[in-house]
Structure 1
Amino acid sequence: MKNALVTGASGGIGKLIVKRLIEQDYFVIGVGRNEKTLRELSSLENFDYIIMDLSEKGAAKRIRKALEQRSIGRLNLLINNAGFAIAKPLLEQNEEELEKLFKVNVIAPIVLTKELLDMIPRGGKVVFVISAAAFVNTVELPSYGAAKASLHYMVVNLEKELKEKDVHIIKVYPRQVATPFWHGKVPKGSVSPEEVADVILKAIKKNKSEVFVPAYVKLVKYLPRWPAFDYKFKF
């Protein structure tokens, strides 16, 4: 049986990915902050969970220790899915908010991948759920867009570094997704978390290097770079 670790597993896309991986005979370890939801998922066979706030210093090392305590020595699949946004102008965001946002969206997935790298065998896969916001100026979510652009830049370079280790990177760029991420103000035209989860699972199966959800969103890669193109979410 293959082992997988999924961050942001307590809701939205992450929760769906957990269930789909279990259906495909993976043993899944979910990482998240919502213990109640993760405890509910633990009723499923082949599932365990780790309660962790990825914004905390040393989170990656504590996740590794928790895996070792569970005798998980091998990860065939790592899905870096956790993330959050702050929907207000930069001038209204304080230092603590910005540090936490960049820690969860950018630093944590890179550091966690590095921390667990020796547990990932040759041919193993690491998925990064980034965002189409990496390619456009999201004026209502300026710090989130900046974080996703940073994550994109880092993952593109990490992908090159991991080639010699034969670890396959999959980059995922969804448009807005209808999840609790939006705190009840889901933008019009958002895709369903089910659609994103299905695309991710297909990308894993087919060894894709990047996928966009929906597929036409790939066009954003070829738009003029910001600030020439601003994108406003339609609430």
Structure 2
Amino acid sequence: MAEDSRVALVTGAGRGIGLATTRRFLAEGWRVALLDIDGELLGHAMAELAAPDRTLALHCDVSDASAVTAAVRRAGGHFGRLDALVNNAGIAVFKPLLETTPEEWNRVLAVNLTGPFLATLAAAPIMAEGGGGAIVNITSISGLRASTLRAAYGTSKAALAHLTKQQAVELGALNIRVNAVAPGPVDTAMAKAVHTPEIRRDYHDTIPLNRYGLETELAETIVFLCGDRASYITGQVVAVDGGFEATGIGLPTLRAARRNM
């Protein structure tokens, strides 16, 4: 592996979309710093990847400003450069609006919105020193359309989508592109834990492709946006959702009518 191969830092890399994205980066020849709040999960991921010369584990809470700064600097020093940042770490509280506590609200926004802000503050100067780079923020379809039980989560992701545009406008002068990926329903551990069979049927009813997405499908888009093939794309929020965000009413009725034709 060439010493000048590009370097990505992925937050929330211990599992799910973050780990799938790490695998995709490694497959394309990148080196990767994996950051996660769960040290045990991070250790399992590192063991599974079995690429000690091309990976670095960073145990960190993305809402802790000093810890994030130290972790990002460590990644830059370890690899000698930083070319991409994927702000994937996130948490969710699925509760009715009037049952969501101020503490839960604050924690969700601290991780999902302040975390990407802090990581960008630390990473952008290192990228600029190397001539530029790319940042991808992982928002959510819940930040584009409202649904029940997601007051804190959906609001944090909607704000992150706008932060993406703010970052793109200001960091373009440093040759840093910033985009967001908004996953729709994806078969992650979180979705499997909270989506009942009834909820899954409801999603299928409103997704034109009639299925949940795969973590690997999200990873493909994320890595694309970090690479040279996306060199003139910045300030965009790309929904990777099987068409869910585009759907209005009537799709189940239309499907039923087609079956009866």
Q: TM-score range by the shorter chain?
A: 0.7 to 0.9
Paired residue for 2:70?
62
User: Which of these two proteins has the greater Rg computed from alpha carbons?
Assistant: 2
* Partners of 2:157 and 2:243 in 1: CA distance: 19
Paired residue for 2:207?
none
Matched, 1:163 2:185: no
The offset of 1:175, in angstroms, is 0.9
Paired residue for 1:13?
17
* Partners of 1:112 and 1:138 in 2: CA distance: 28
The offset of 1:111, in angstroms, is 1.6
The offset of 1:92, in angstroms, is 1.7
Q: 1:157 to 1:65 in 2, by over 3 A?
A: closer
Paired residue for 1:28?
32
Question: When the two structures are superposed, what TM-score results if normalisation uses the length of structure 2?
Answer: 0.77
Which structure carries more helix by proportion? 2
User: Per-residue displacement from partner, 1:55-95 (whole Å, max 9, x unpaired)?
Assistant: 33533223134336x53342111111111110001222222
User: Among 39, 42, 48, which residue is 1:38 paired with?
Assistant: 42
* Partners of 2:78 and 2:55 in 1: CA distance: 14
Paired residue for 2:239?
212
Q: Which amino acid aligns with 2:182?
A: Y
SS at match of 2:194: coil
* Partners of 1:130 and 1:42 in 2: CA distance: 25
Paired residue for 1:102?
109
Question: When the two structures are superposed, what TM-score results if normalisation uses the length of structure 1?
Answer: 0.85
Q: 1:93 to 1:37 in 2, by over 3 A?
A: same
* Partners of 2:112 and 2:147 in 1: CA distance: 15
User: Per-residue displacement from partner, 1:119-168 (whole Å, max 9, x unpaired)?
Assistant: 11334111111112222112221111111111111111111111111101
SS at match of 2:181: strand
1:52-201 correspondence to structure 2 within 5 Å:
52-67=60-75, 71-120=78-127, 121-182=130-191, 184-186=193-195, 187-188=199-200, 189=204, 190-201=212-223
Runs of 5+ consecutive residues of structure 2 not aligned to the other structure: 205-211, 249-261
Q: Sequence identity, in percent?
A: 25
Q: How many residues align?
A: 220
Q: Which amino acid aligns with 1:132?
A: I
Note if contact 1:84-1:181 (Cα within 8 Å) is conserved in structure 2.
no
The offset of 1:4, in angstroms, is 0.8
Note if contact 2:62-2:118 (Cα within 8 Å) is conserved in structure 1.
no
Q: 1:219 to 1:201 in 2, by over 3 A?
A: same
SS at match of 1:42: helix
What RMSD in Å do the two structures reach over aligned CA positions?
Answer: 2.1
The offset of 1:21, in angstroms, is 0.7
* Partners of 1:72 and 1:99 in 2: CA distance: 34
